Amino acid sequence: SGYFTYDPGFLATASCESAITFIDGGKGVLQHRGYPIDALAKEADYLEVCYILLNGQAPTAEQYDEFKNIITNHTMVHEKLAHFFQGFLPDAHPMAMLCGVVGAMSSFYHSDLDITDHEQRMRCSHRLIAKMPTIAAMAYKYSIGQPFVYPRNDLTFAENFLHMMFSVPAEEYKVSPTLAKAMDRIFTLHADHEQNASTSTVRLAGSSGANPYACIAAGVASLWGPAHGGANEACLNMLEEIGDVSRVDEFVAKAKDKEDPFRLMGFGHRVYKNFDPRATVMRETCHEVLEELGVNDPLLDVAMALEKVALEDPYFIEKKLYPNVDFYSGIILKAIGIPTSMFTVIFAMSRTVGWCAHWDEMLSQPGQKIGRPRQKYTGEINREFTPLKNR
């Protein structure tokens, strides 16, 4: 074991070379293919960012339209796939449904199992990006006992998602431009984030040549945890537990107490130790949405009080703990009326493009090897083995 570098949690190990996303955590910089995230969030839409991540540069108007058409035309899922949901209990967590249904997609698109050329990998990626929102909305509709709402090709990506979530046969959901924009920003700001746990999982799974649906299902599984994509859901659960502004100080004290395992969910980041550039844009959108909806929700008051205390408290300043993107996205989703159990699902659908871009990049690299970390063995060695009958 002495021959290997031991780096638990990969704090100091680069696992690959990548030209997709650049992060300078100290300076709060995040760029996709060299384009700064705040410019992308403010001036591009999610599908444009998807194109950039997959293709390496911003599209021309013609390329953008063509890409948008491809994605729009792939939004339907096979009716048999829709039947899968009937096998789940209605109270199943939508992430559990997503893991299963995405993995099962490999049994529908046999031609996608040949992943040797880039064009073919792009076809799978388009299918995944387009169908994820449909599957996500189906998981939600199933959980509340409503019929599935099929995608509408005349709507934008974000509008269509809200339509599939909130329309009912008797009444089409009227999508407000502010909410559609907020939704689109949530997708954009979660589109990629270099070698995070779920993306590294997708790369590792894909390095063996596994099919893309199985790899993306692995990414969904990894994202589910509360330290990663599950943070936005955990954050809202925490706000519910706090319940009232008067209890914020008590919970801040708990977070600071080293004897207490409690952490303020939605605060801190492995890479951003000064501020999360995604959080800055998301914060703006969060305030816009709250203003437009005029929501009067005690949980949102708790969130705002927590933000203030944490930004001013010496413990959080010293440990460089700031509200992260999921703190604000959780609040926005809650205000839009999306149930907490769907938060991580929305993160997963947004991140699908990043997972696909990394998977394709890895398989495009010459001499790509199977990912096979080594270990530091700490168990016993050379023990004498006594046959069972003598033990």
Quick one: which of 206, 268, 277, 354 contacts ligand CMC (CB under 6 A)? 268
Is residue 263 near ligand CMC by the rule CB under 6 A?
yes
In this structure, are residues 186 and 38 in contact, taking their beta carbons and an 8 Å threshold?
A: no
**Catalytic: 269?**
yes
- Residue 62 or 250: which CB sits closer to ligand CMC? 250
Is residue 333 near ligand CMC by the rule CB under 6 A?
no
Shortest separation between residue 356's beta carbon and ligand CMC, angstroms: 18
What 8-state DSSP symbol labels residue 191?
Answer: S
Is residue 278 near ligand CMC by the rule CB under 6 A?
no
Report how far residue 332's alpha carbon sits from residue 352's, in angstroms, rounded to the nearest whole number: 21
Looking at beta carbons, which residue is closest to ligand CMC?
268
Angstrom distances, CA of residue 200 to CA of 31, 204, 351, 366: 18, 6, 12, 19
- Residue 220 or 293: which CB sits closer to ligand CMC? 220
Is residue 227 near ligand CMC by the rule CB under 6 A?
yes
Report how far residue 192's alpha carbon sits from residue 19's, in angstroms, rounded to the nearest whole number: 12
Edge-to-edge strands, sheet with 29-32: 21-24, 29-32, 35-36
Contact string (CB under 6 A) for ligand CMC, positions 190-209, x = contact:
------x-------------
Q: Is 382 left (phi over 0), alpha (psi -120 to 50) or beta?
A: left
Is residue 270 near ligand CMC by the rule CB under 6 A?
yes
Report how far residue 338's alpha carbon sits from residue 297's, in angstroms, rounded to the nearest whole number: 14
Span from 142-150, 155-163, 177-185, 317-325 in contact with ligand CMC (CB under 6 A): 317-325
Is residue 21 near ligand CMC by the rule CB under 6 A?
no
Span from 100-108, 138-146, 268-276, 283-291 in contact with ligand CMC (CB under 6 A): 268-276
Quick one: which of 167, 201, 211, 324 contacts ligand CMC (CB under 6 A)? 324
**Catalytic: 93?**
no
Is residue 352 near ligand CMC by the rule CB under 6 A?
no
Is residue 228 near ligand CMC by the rule CB under 6 A?
yes
Shortest separation between residue 39's beta carbon and ligand CMC, angstroms: 21
Please report the DSSP string for 192-214 in residue order: --SS-HHHHHHHHHHTTT--HHH
User: How many Cβ atoms sit within 10 Å of the Cβ of residue 29?
Assistant: 13
Report how far residue 115's alpha carbon sits from residue 356's, in angstroms, rounded to the nearest whole number: 12
In this structure, are residues 333 and 194 in contact, taking their beta carbons and an 8 Å threshold?
A: no
Is residue 231 near ligand CMC by the rule CB under 6 A?
yes
Contacts 24+ apart (CB under 8 A), 236-242: 236/299, 236/330, 236/331, 236/334, 236/340, 236/343, 237/265, 237/340, 238/264, 238/265, 238/266, 239/299, 239/302, 239/303, 239/306, 240/299, 242/302, 242/306
Quick one: which of 164, 189, 236, 265 contacts ligand CMC (CB under 6 A)? 265
Map residue 268 onto helix, strand or coil: coil
Give the binding-site size for ligand CMC (rule: CB under 6 A): 18
- Residue 206 or 229: which CB sits closer to ligand CMC? 229
Residue of 269, 276, 358, 360 marked active site: 269
Is residue 311 near ligand CMC by the rule CB under 6 A?
no
Quick one: which of 230, 173, 172 has its CA closest to 197? 230
- Residue 152 or 270: which CB sits closer to ligand CMC? 270
Binding region for ligand CMC (CB under 6 A): 196, 227-229, 231, 255, 263-270, 319, 321, 324, 326
| Residues with a known catalytic role | 269, 326
